[in-house]
Structure 1
Amino acid sequence: MSMLIRKFLVGLLCTLCLLGAGCAVTEKKSAADKVELQVAAAASLTDVLQEFAAAYEAEHPQVKLVFNFGSSGALQQAIENGGQADVFFSAAAGQMVRLEQAGLLLAGSRRDLLENELVLIVPRNDTSAPADFAQLADKGVPQVALGEPRSVPVGQYAEEVLRNLDLWEQVKDKAVFGTDVRQVLAWVESGNAGCGIVYATDAAHSDKVQVAAKAPAGSHKPIVYPAAVLQESRHKQEAQAFLAYLAQRQDIFTRYGFDVK
């Protein structure tokens, strides 16, 4: 092999190594630059937001959505105690108002995005289950699954309905209280509770329960889902862009049974 060819091959090899190193640096930098948005969201939003994540990340590959699902009250308290989040998506206005009053929301970022309904559910094909809210007071109904009213919005709405129907005093002593709406749903699905009160969207999610009745009109305040960027977010611009996307993709919410604002 001539000296000229040898020099050419050595030079080519060095160039390829440099290009490979450059690509590795670029890939490493790209991964490091990816933004993780922490979203604290009501448990009743679990399924719909997971679909949103797939759609949003496909269109915005520089963003990864990380969800913390739970009761809105527990999430609110975690945020108040310094828990990290970029976005809060609540199943009720009260929790959002308290964070706003505490100065923990980015001014002007709140959006009221959705509405929901409250329903009484029973195990599918259970002919002995109560057929309406009035029957919850019957002695033949041993347990009623509810969200914990002190911290779970669906429990607060349920208590409001039962008080307005003059049923609370008869029902409260046989109520079993869940930590969020999905626990209430799971108890009725498994038959551990013969009935429960959940959101219409959660009932629609399950093939193991059926809706016995809807809460009567005017028996509770409107179920509104607000979302906002948190003041302590390190990614305010990306968080606001995500909220704007949620507002634009109403089709996904309606497919899961939510009413859009």
Structure 2
Amino acid sequence: MKQLKIMLFAIFLFLAMGGCAPTNPDKMNTVVLTVSAASSLQNVLEELAVEFQKKHSYIDIQYNFGASGALVKQIEQGAPADVIISASTEQFNKLNMAGLIQEGTTLISNELVLITGNNGSVSLQKIEDLKSNRVEKISIGAPSIVPAGSYAKQALEHLDLWTELESKFVYAKDVRQVLTYVESGNVQAGFVYHTDAIGSDKVKIISTINEEILDSISYPIGIVNHAGSPTEAKKFYEFLQSEEIKDIWVKYGFTY
């Protein structure tokens, strides 16, 4: 009987100590991390999520891709988001000024390019060729919400082409839609990011917009103040800035 009591006590002690053991994060319940990101980041971020989850398998990355202006409005209205990556410093600063970002920094940069379809019926050599009567439709993102569209407008105004070309514009909800319009032949040309253009085998780059006539295209990243999972948001925020994944950013055409 005495031996039985000792054995039961030992088992109880073992179980009690096991309950105090450190928790293995990989065995925790899944944490869903909501990341709102510019549409132009879709391909690279999907690959980066796979890399991140190799080390943090309990964190499930859920992306919300869209135009930066639309994403900002969603967060302003209280939509769930842990991290935001914008293609516009101006849009990102709206959240900063409203006190909705607890930590932020510049992550990467990009370039704006003019593209046309590989099988297009119109031959374009430079931006000025858009004035040709043969060019009937040019797609750009809606400047009020799509940073790529805002950058395109800035460049065309600098070149005194905006007013002359305005009747030809087909506005898109985001830069990915611009790319789709050009790929499908629905428009003869469009303004997208360099990273979008090199990711498609259906378009070719006509011209890269000179930085001298365009604001620097930077992508700020921030942790949202009302983040539901701030600890995990911090892990992902730091991961995207780490040297270990620099080559992935570069592979997709971003400057890191």
Q: TM-score range by the shorter chain?
A: 0.7 to 0.9
Provide the TM-score with structure 1 as the length reference: 0.85
Deviations, residues 8-36 of structure 1 (Å, cap 9, x unaligned)? xxxxxxxxxxxxxxxxxxxxx97772211
- Partner letter of residue 63 of structure 2? F
Q: In the alignment, what sits opposite 1:138?
A: 132
Q: In the alignment, what sits opposite 1:244?
A: 238
What is the rounded CA distance, in whole Å, between the counterparts of 2:27 and 2:169 in structure 1?
Answer: 49
Contact 2:32 2:61 in 1 (8 A): yes
Matches within 5 A, 1:19-168: 33-106=29-102, 109-126=103-120, 128-168=122-162
Where 2:124 maps in the other structure, the secondary structure is coil
What is the rounded CA distance, in whole Å, between the counterparts of 1:79 and 1:165 in structure 2?
Answer: 35
Contact 2:26 2:56 in 1 (8 A): no
Instruction: Please give the root-mean-square deviation of Cα atoms over the aligned residues, in Å.
Output: 1.4
Contact 1:123 1:189 in 2 (8 A): yes
Q: 1:228 aligns with which of 211, 216, 222?
A: 222
Unmatched segments (≥5 aa) in structure 1: 1-28
Q: 2:189 aligns with which of 185, 191, 195?
A: 195
What is the rounded CA distance, in whole Å, between the counterparts of 2:31 and 2:40 in structure 1?
Answer: 25
What is the rounded CA distance, in whole Å, between the counterparts of 1:188 and 1:128 in structure 2?
Answer: 12
Change in CA separation of 1:81 and 1:138 when aligned onto 2, cut-off 3 Å: same
| Sequence identity percentage | 39
What is the rounded CA distance, in whole Å, between the counterparts of 1:198 and 1:55 in structure 2?
Answer: 27
What is the rounded CA distance, in whole Å, between the counterparts of 1:72 and 1:169 in structure 2?
Answer: 25
Contact 2:110 2:193 in 1 (8 A): yes
Provide the TM-score with structure 2 as the length reference: 0.87
Q: How many residues align?
A: 230
Where 1:207 maps in the other structure, the secondary structure is coil
Q: CA deviation at 1:126?
A: 3.1
Unmatched segments (≥5 aa) in structure 2: 1-24
Contact 1:130 1:141 in 2 (8 A): no
Contact 2:156 2:162 in 1 (8 A): yes
